[in-house]
A = this chain, B = another copy of it.
Amino acid sequence: MSIVVVGSVVLDSIKTPHGEVTDVLGGSASFFSIAASLFTDVRLVGVVGGDFPHSDMDFLRGKRIDLTGLEVVPEGKTFRWKGEYSQNMNHRTSLCTELNVFAEFSPKLPEIYKSSPVAFLGNIDPELQLNVLDQVLSPRFTACDTMNFWISGKKDLLQQVLRRVNLFFINDSEAIELTDEPNVFKACQKLLEWGPTTVVIKRGEYGSFVMRQDMVYLLPAYPLEWVQDPTGAGDTYAAGFLGYLDRVGKVDNDSLRRAAIFGTIVASFTCEGFGLDSIGHTTRAQIQSRAKEFVNMLKVPGGLSGLRL
């Protein structure tokens, strides 16, 4: 099994109330790849400049990540982003975004990638997402993410993408903005009408939920007492989710519920360090152990029969 991921590879400079880092490996493709590699083989499609650190390249290569699709533009500079989080971590301000080589990014899937059963289109221009969908050979399962920038700028193209993917990851506020519905559950139903059979709503520290025509699955977040840096939480949530689905090789309602649990757990590790510091060194045993602890915090004693009045 394997997952193709298309997205950005970025050198992030991040400031949170707990510290500050400069030019650390980030971007949707990096976060997704590193986290998904805990579950399955990953094939990365992205672009970096000649200045991309050898250490970061080695770090990616040391995981189960195929880098054949990572284009290097020797004369170009790698995408750079600089951001700062508010005191309570609920808001972040982008201080600087230099697209550099990413401005001309045109994803090209190596032949060997095209047969991957799962494809994840990270948060990039919907035009590029469509381009990738044209290249994959009837994958079993496609998923995409997006952000407010594309919702306001390229809504029509984004809707075209949604008609062609199976699963859509989106934040609650973005789902409301995209659909013009005041309520997130109504927004979700509209998104299901637009195409994907599964919509996954991410709500940050409050958790997530999965909606299909015949299922709603509600999940709180793992209770972290300390968050160092939430950058990449959304991408790694998607990675745990899709990584698990690819690993078990099926997409039924039960697998989707478990996938949301693993997405949640993976994202919780991400938040405990700057950039990839934490999730980049997390083991599958740690994921498994925290998932067990988490499920105990969700248990309804006695199930339905325990609730008779």
Contact = CB atoms under 8 A, between A and B. Distances in A.
Given A88-B182, A220-B219, A300 B257 contact: yes
B288 A258 contact: no
Given A307-B258, A307-B288, A309-B284, A297 B218 contact: yes
Interface residues of A, number: 50
Interface in A56-99: 87-88
Report the copy number of this chain in the oligomer: 2
Interface in A256-309: 257-258, 261-262, 284, 287-288, 291-292, 295-304, 306-309
Interface in A183-227: 183, 185-186, 189, 203, 206-207, 209, 216-220, 223-227
A291 B306 contact: no
A134 interface: no
Contacts of A300: 257-258, 261, 295, 298-299
A108 interface: no
A56 to B, nearest CB: 27
A254 interface: yes
A218 B218 contact: no
A291 B304 CA distance: 8
15 contacts: A17-B182, A39-B309, A183-B226, A183-B227, A185-B223, A189-B225, A206-B206, A209-B220, A244-B309, A247-B309, A261-B307, A288-B307, A292-B304, A299-B300, A299-B303
Given A206-B206, A258-B301, 18 more contacts: A17-B182, A185-B223, A186-B226, A207-B207, A207-B220, A216-B223, A217-B299, A218-B220, A218-B297, A258-B302, A258-B306, A287-B309, A288-B307, A288-B308, A288-B309, A292-B304, A295-B304, A299-B300
